[in-house]
A and B are shown apart, each in its own frame.
Chain A
Amino acid sequence: MGLPLMMERSSNNNNVVELSRVAVSDTHGEDSPYFAGWKAYDENPYEESHNPSGVIQMGLAENQVSFDLLESYLEKKNPEGSMWGSKGAPGFRENALFQDYHGLKSFRQAMASFMQQIRGGKARFDPDRIVLTAGATAANELLTFILADPNDALLVPTPYYPGFDRDLRWRTGVRIVPIHCDSSNHFQITPEALEQAYQTARDANIRVRGVLITNPSNPLGATVQKKVLEDLLDFCVRKNIHLVSDEIYSGSVFHASEFTSVAEIVENIDDVSVKERVHIVYSLSKDLGLPGFRVGTIYSYNDNVVRTARRMSSFTLVSSQTQQLLASMLSDEEFTEKYIRINRERLRRRYETIVEGLKKAGIECLKGNAGLFCWMNLGFLLDTKTKEGELALWDVILKELKLNISPGSSCHCSEYGWFRVCFANMSEKTLDIALKRIHEFMDRQSGF
Chain B
Amino acid sequence: MRLIVPLQGVVQGRGGLFVGSLIPCCLFYFLQLYLKRRRSPPPPDSDSTELPRTSSRSSLFTRGNSIGRVRVSSRAAPLAKPPDSPYYIGLERVKTDPYDRVTNRDGIIQLGLAESTLCFDLLQRWMSDNLMESLMIQSDVDGGFDVSSIAMYQPFEGLLEVRVAFADFMSRIMGGNVSFDPSNMVITAGGTPAVEVLAFCLADHGNAFLIPSPYYPGFDRDIKFRTGIELIPVHCRSSDNFTVTVSALEQSLSQARKRGSKVSGILFSNPSNPVGNILSRETLHAILSFAQEKNIHVISDEIFAGSVYGDKEFVSMAEVAASGDFDKSRVHIIYGLSKDLSLPGFRTGVIYSFHEDVVSAAKKLMRFCSMPVPVQRILISLLSDTRFIEEYMAAHRQRIRDKHFLFVEGLKQLGIPCAESGGGLYCWVDMSSLLTSYSEKGELELFEKLLSVAKINATPGTACYCIEPGWFRCCFTALADEDIPVIMERIKLLAESSTS
Contact = CB atoms under 8 A, between A and B. Distances in A.
Interface of A: 3, 6-7, 15-24, 28, 30, 60, 62, 64, 67, 70-71, 74-75, 78, 80-81, 84-87, 89, 92-99, 134-135, 137-138, 141, 145-150, 152, 166-167, 170-171, 173, 202, 205-207, 209, 230, 234, 237-242, 269, 271, 273-274, 276-277, 289-295, 302, 304-305, 307-308, 311-312, 314-322, 325
A240 B357 CA distance: 41
B357 A81 contact: no
Given A96-B123, A147-B72, A149-B75, A137 B368 contact: yes
B73 A96 contact: no
Which of B193, B196, B347 is the most central at the interface, judged by chain A CB atoms within 10 Å of its CB? B347
20 contacts: A6-B329, A19-B358, A19-B361, A75-B144, A75-B145, A86-B132, A146-B76, A209-B73, A271-B61, A273-B65, A273-B68, A273-B70, A292-B150, A292-B152, A292-B154, A293-B151, A305-B72, A314-B192, A315-B193, A322-B372
Contacts of B292: 15
Contacts of B148: 64, 67
A237 B51 CA distance: 11
Contact of A277 (B70, B151, B327, B374): B70
Contacts of B48: 238-239
A403 to B, nearest CB: 19
B62 A271 contact: yes
Contact of A308 (B42, B70, B72): B72
A148 B76 CA distance: 9
A292 B153 contact: yes
A71 B146 contact: yes
A277 B70 CA distance: 6
User: Chain B, interface size: which category?
Assistant: 35 or more
Nearest to A206: B41
A60 B153 contact: yes
Nearest to A272: B69
B189 A319 contact: yes
B384 interface: no
Contacts of B330: 17
Contact of B374 (A92, A289, A293, A312): A293
B61 A304 contact: no
B257 interface: no
Contact of A96 (B120, B222, B373): B120
A18 B344 CA distance: 33
A343 to B, nearest CB: 13
A23 B67 contact: no
A96 B344 contact: yes
Nearest to A230: B57
Contacts of A202: 44
Given A15-B327, A93-B117, A137-B367, A322 B374 contact: yes
B210 interface: no
Top-7 shortest CB links A-B:
A81-B132, A320-B345, A292-B373, A86-B131, A23-B361, A23-B201, A98-B345
A273 to B, nearest CB: 5
Contacts, number: 281
Contact of A80 (B51, B132, B150, B327): B132
Given A18-B264, A84-B132, A6 B371 contact: no
Contact of B226 (A15, A171, A295): A171
B296 interface: yes
B356 A3 contact: yes
A60 to B, nearest CB: 7
Contacts of A149: 73-75
B345 A321 contact: yes
Contacts of B347: 99, 134, 317-320
A30 B80 contact: no
B204 interface: yes
Given A64-B152, A314-B221, A321-B372, 8 more contacts: A17-B327, A74-B136, A145-B73, A209-B73, A238-B48, A294-B371, A314-B192, A321-B378
A115 to B, nearest CB: 20
B3 interface: no
Contacts of A302: 70, 72
Nearest to B295: A15
Interface string B51-86: 100000100111111011110111110011000000
Interface string B267-307: 00000000000000000000000001001110000000000
Interface string B364-378: 110111111111001
B124 A92 contact: yes
A294 B45 CA distance: 39
A207 B44 CA distance: 9
A146 B73 contact: yes
A271 B58 CA distance: 11
A273 B372 contact: no
A422 to B, nearest CB: 12
B145 A71 contact: yes
B357 A321 contact: no
B357 A312 contact: no
